[in-house]
Structure 1
Amino acid sequence: MIPVQGYRGRSVAVLGLGRSGLATARALQAGGATALVWDDSAEAREAAEGQGMILYDLTRANAWDDVAALIVSPGIPHLYPEPNKIIAAAWAAGVPVDNDIGLFFRSFATQDWDNFDVTPRIIAVTGSNGKSTTAALIHHILAEAGRPTQLAGNIGRGVLDIDPAHDGEVVVLELSSYQTDLARALTPDVAVFTNLSPDHLDRHAGMGGYFAAKRRLFAEGGPDRAVIGIDEPEGQYLANQMVYTLSDDRVIRVSVEHKLKGAGWNVFARKGFLAETRKDRQLASIDLREIVGLPGSHNHQNACAAYAACRAIGVGPKQIEGALRSFKGLPHRSQVIAEKDGVRFVNDSKATNVDSAAKALQAFKNIRWIAGGLGKEGGIESLALHLVNVEKAYLIGHSARDFALQLGDTPYEICETMDRAVASAAAEASAGDTVLLAPAAASFDQYPNFEKRGDDFITCVQANLKN
């Protein structure tokens, strides 16, 4: 646990009692503060009270008397589509509002560091797609290279729930736009921007607000090194904002669409080969094509970003290459579940929007595509150019019929449920085919989250392979 600094002897309110809220309350108490907790859910309040937390009704009059700050869980909207009423009340009372990410960056460094030979560092990863895989891959590379490391944030443990830093440790954080948007302190040593595509637009009032939330990690964080994917205009803009000269190597530019040139520091992948260049000289090259845990161009982008982040803190190319080859991938992200009679089954349940689904559809050939769920604005119309590898679509969930109208000439079947979709796709697949779950939709019509949807896919695949 990271004891929160700066509130000893004071009362701090915590709104939202999920994983991060409870961890925040415990970390505040460990730092000598009094944590006053609240959640709209009576069940969550009861569970927190059972853990010894102090319930404090933040909806009552005069709730803000003697409250030093309000710490908000990331899932609670603070501005758009409209301010949460409790947060608005805190604003009106002049109470500072922060989140656990802000508390972490304020509290991570301690006087114990004066005795360390190597100062601990933080690598923070944000972006629309691939940030979980990139963060996990950085963590894996560091561990394989013998560096002490922890993984936290939007993946794994809550940031305040990790252990205090060891000598020379590197903490890898995955940070969503929800987390970067509100944090009052953002000071990573290395910041990584993977890419940008439309997502969470209601929460940020459009693409401009969404990008602005991501940009805060760089513009306000002032990292020593920035790894920036430049395959979208926003990434190009961000990289340009961070450099002062053509040869400024504080920025490492990353691409899977262009061979990068110039006097700066570049990492790019072309035709399955990763290359690192610096001052117009190639320093390293890695063949990514046969790395099972990183299939497709989108994973090559993740590999480039992770490679660049690790190079930024001194890990050697050969160490990174060995770790890339031993990386097994993350659950629900281009995860190879099984292969039988030449048919491969791949779980990409995390592909909850059309951009991530497009990347999955480009990664494989002869696809039996399971898609659908709670569709997002625009459906799958923009995927038309990426259907050339699809032999047939098997549609599930709330948006199955809407998706069917947007498939053009691609054959499809309305299956509605996962078990029917898997059974039909497996029965019709032949050697060389890939049965791919890449829903291009949210899961909430049939499942509590994308993980449960992916688990159901795995269960259905395993059941079919036994038959």
Structure 2
Amino acid sequence: MIPVKGFEGANVAVLGLGRSGLATARALHAGGAVPLCWDDNPAARATAEAEGFSCQDLMKSGAFDTVATLIVSPGIPHLYPTPNPVVRAALDAGVPVDNDIGLFFRSVATHDWNNFDIAPRIVAVTGSNGKSTTVALLQHILTQAGRRSQLAGNIGRGVLDIDPPGDGDVVVLELSSYQTELARSLTPDVAVFTNLSPDHLDRHAGMGGYFAAKRRLFAEGGPDRAVIGVDENEGAFLAGQLSEGVTDDRVIRVSASRKLAGPGWNVFVRKGFLSEYRKGRQAGSIDLRAIQGLPGVHNHQNACAAYAAARTLGLAPRQIETGLASYPGLPHRSQTIAEQDGVRYVNDSKATNVDSAIKALSAFSNIRWICGGLEKAGGLDALRGQTGTVVKAYVIGREAAGFAMQLDVEAEVCTTMAIAVERAITDAQPGDTVVLAPAAASFDQYDNFEQRGDDFIAAVTTRLGLG
């Protein structure tokens, strides 16, 4: 646990008592603060009270009279589309609003660090797609190289729930736009921007607000090194803003679509080969084509980002290559779950938006595509012309018929996962790949994308007789 600093003896309100909210309450208590907790869900309040925390309705008159700050869980809107009423009440009372990420960065460093031979390093990764794979891949590379590391943030443990980092340790954080937008302190040693595509637009009032939320990690944080994916305009713009000139190697540009030239520090992939160039000379090269845990161009981009971050931490190219080669992949992200009778079955339930689904479809050929769910803002127009690898789509979700009508491939309305899997397996021929890449959120039928992916795995293994 990371005890929170700066609030000794003060009342700190905590709104939202899920994983991060409870971890925040514990860390505040460990640091000497008095957490005042609230959640609209009675069961969540009961869990907090069972741990000894006081729950107080933060909408009552005068609730913020003695409160030093309000800590908000990531899923609770603080500005768009409209602020949560508790957040608005805090703002009206002049009470600062922060989140667990802000508390982490203000609290993680201790006087003990002065006695370390090597100060701990914090790597923070943000972007639209590939964050989870990039952080998991980086941690795997570090582990294989014998470097102690912890994974936290939007994946794994809450940031305040990790162990205090020791001499030479690395903390790898996945940070969403919800987290970077609100955190009052953002000071990573290395910051990574993977890419940007439309997502969470209602929460950020459009693409400009969405990009601004991501940009805060770099503009507010002032990292020693910045790894920037430059395949979109926003990434290229961000790299340009951070760089002092063409030879400034504090910025490492990353691309999965083209060779990057110039005297700066560049990492890119062409035809499945990762290359690192520095000061105009090649410093490393890795063949990614045979790595099963990293299929497709989008995963090659993730490999570039993880490679670049690992290089900033002092790892040699051959150490990184060893880690890449043994990377098993993450559940629900281009995860091969079975191969039978010449047909491969891939679970990419994390493909919850159109862009991530397009990237999943580009990684395979002869695809039997299971898709559908709760459409996100922006619709499905971007899918048109991007489904050339798809033989047929099998559409799930409560609005499956409407979803299917927007696709430019043959589509069968299945509604449920069980029916979609049954139909796809029946139709599949040797050489085909059955891919779950929904291009939509899961909340119309499932609690989360993990549950949806688990349902796909269960349906496939049962139908194939593997369960």
Query: C-alpha displacement at 1:407, in angstroms?
Result: 2.3
Q: What's the secondary structure of 1:283's corresponding residue?
A: strand
Amino acid in the other structure paired with 1:310: A
Give yes or no for the alignment of 1:416 onto 2:412.
no
Structure-1 residue corresponding to 2:172? 172
Say if 1:335 and 1:346, in contact at 8 Å, map to a contact too. Answer: yes
Structure-2 residue corresponding to 1:236? 236
Query: C-alpha displacement at 1:232, in angstroms?
Result: 0.4
C-alpha distance in 1, partners of 2:100/2:387? Answer: 41
Say if 1:375 and 1:399, in contact at 8 Å, map to a contact too. Answer: no
Structure-1 residue corresponding to 2:424? 425
Q: What's the secondary structure of 2:124's corresponding residue?
A: strand
Q: What's the secondary structure of 2:113's corresponding residue?
A: helix
Structure-2 residue corresponding to 1:438? 437
Amino acid in the other structure paired with 2:107: S
Give yes or no for the alignment of 1:370 onto 2:370.
yes
Structure-2 residue corresponding to 1:206? 206
Query: C-alpha displacement at 1:145, in angstroms?
Result: 0.6
Structure-1 residue corresponding to 2:19? 19
Amino acid in the other structure paired with 2:405: L
Amino acid in the other structure paired with 1:451: E
Query: C-alpha displacement at 1:375, in angstroms?
Result: 1.6
C-alpha distance in 2, partners of 1:21/1:460? Answer: 34
C-alpha distance in 2, partners of 1:57/1:413? Answer: 49
Structure-1 residue corresponding to 2:107? 107
Count of residues in Structure 1 that have an aligned counterpart in Structure 2: 466
Say if 1:121 and 1:171, in contact at 8 Å, map to a contact too. Answer: yes
Give yes or no for the alignment of 1:335 onto 2:345.
no
C-alpha distance in 1, partners of 2:258/2:269? Answer: 8
C-alpha distance in 2, partners of 1:377/1:40? Answer: 26
The one-character-per-residue Cα deviations of 1:82-136 (angstroms, maximum 9, x if unpaired) are: 1111111111111111100000000000011111111001000000000000011
The one-character-per-residue Cα deviations of 1:35-59 (angstroms, maximum 9, x if unpaired) are: 1101112221122111211112211
C-alpha distance in 1, partners of 2:87/2:381? Answer: 38
Query: C-alpha displacement at 1:143, in angstroms?
Result: 0.7
Query: C-alpha displacement at 1:378, in angstroms?
Result: 4.3
Say if 2:199 and 2:377, in contact at 8 Å, map to a contact too. Answer: no
The one-character-per-residue Cα deviations of 1:310-334 (angstroms, maximum 9, x if unpaired) are: 0011111000001001001100000
Say if 1:230 and 1:239, in contact at 8 Å, map to a contact too. Answer: yes
Structure-1 residue corresponding to 2:325? 325
Structure-2 residue corresponding to 1:458? 457
Structure-1 residue corresponding to 2:215? 215
Alignment gaps of 5+ in structure 1? none
Say if 1:379 and 1:402, in contact at 8 Å, map to a contact too. Answer: no
C-alpha distance in 1, partners of 2:394/2:341? Answer: 21
Structure-1 residue corresponding to 2:250? 250
Q: Calculate the aligned-residue CA RMSD, in Å.
A: 0.9
Structure-2 residue corresponding to 1:407? 407
Structure-2 residue corresponding to 1:139? 139
Q: What's the secondary structure of 1:292's corresponding residue?
A: coil
Say if 1:375 and 1:398, in contact at 8 Å, map to a contact too. Answer: no
Structure-2 residue corresponding to 1:282? 282
Distance verdict in 2 for CA 1:377–1:80, change over 3 Å: closer
Query: C-alpha displacement at 1:223, in angstroms?
Result: 0.1
Say if 1:263 and 1:278, in contact at 8 Å, map to a contact too. Answer: yes
Amino acid in the other structure paired with 1:121: R
Q: What's the secondary structure of 1:285's corresponding residue?
A: strand
Amino acid in the other structure paired with 1:242: L
Query: C-alpha displacement at 1:380, in angstroms?
Result: 2.5
Amino acid in the other structure paired with 1:425: A
C-alpha distance in 2, partners of 1:439/1:327? Answer: 24
The one-character-per-residue Cα deviations of 1:405-461 (angstroms, maximum 9, x if unpaired) are: 1223x2221111101111111111111100000000111111000000000000000
C-alpha distance in 2, partners of 1:460/1:250? Answer: 48
Amino acid in the other structure paired with 1:462: T
C-alpha distance in 2, partners of 1:315/1:40? Answer: 47
With 370-379 and 261-270 compared, the bigger mean Cα shift is at 370-379
Query: C-alpha displacement at 1:276, in angstroms?
Result: 0.2
The one-character-per-residue Cα deviations of 1:6-27 (angstroms, maximum 9, x if unpaired) are: 1111111111101000000000
Amino acid in the other structure paired with 1:466: G
Structure-2 residue corresponding to 1:315? 315
Amino acid in the other structure paired with 1:423: E
C-alpha distance in 1, partners of 2:14/2:410? Answer: 51
Structure-1 residue corresponding to 2:304? 304
Query: C-alpha displacement at 1:399, in angstroms?
Result: 3.0
C-alpha distance in 2, partners of 1:434/1:352? Answer: 19
Q: TM-score, normalised by structure 1?
A: 0.99
Q: What's the secondary structure of 1:386's corresponding residue?
A: coil
Query: C-alpha displacement at 1:403, in angstroms?
Result: 2.3
Q: What's the secondary structure of 1:134's corresponding residue?
A: helix
Q: What's the secondary structure of 1:113's corresponding residue?
A: helix
Q: What's the secondary structure of 1:24's corresponding residue?
A: helix
Structure-2 residue corresponding to 1:348? 348
Alignment gaps of 5+ in structure 2? none
Q: What's the secondary structure of 2:217's corresponding residue?
A: helix
C-alpha distance in 2, partners of 1:320/1:263? Answer: 23
C-alpha distance in 2, partners of 1:363/1:304? Answer: 16
Q: What's the secondary structure of 2:464's corresponding residue?
A: helix
Say if 2:229 and 2:305, in contact at 8 Å, map to a contact too. Answer: yes
Amino acid in the other structure paired with 1:433: D
Runs of 4+ more than 3 Å apart: none
Distance verdict in 2 for CA 1:418–1:316, change over 3 Å: same
Query: C-alpha displacement at 1:347, in angstroms?
Result: 0.1
The one-character-per-residue Cα deviations of 1:138-194 (angstroms, maximum 9, x if unpaired) are: 111111110010000000000000001111000000000000000000000000000
With 102-111 and 40-49 compared, the bigger mean Cα shift is at 40-49
Query: C-alpha displacement at 1:245, in angstroms?
Result: 1.2
C-alpha distance in 1, partners of 2:396/2:41? Answer: 31
Say if 2:201 and 2:377, in contact at 8 Å, map to a contact too. Answer: no
Q: What's the secondary structure of 1:443's corresponding residue?
A: coil
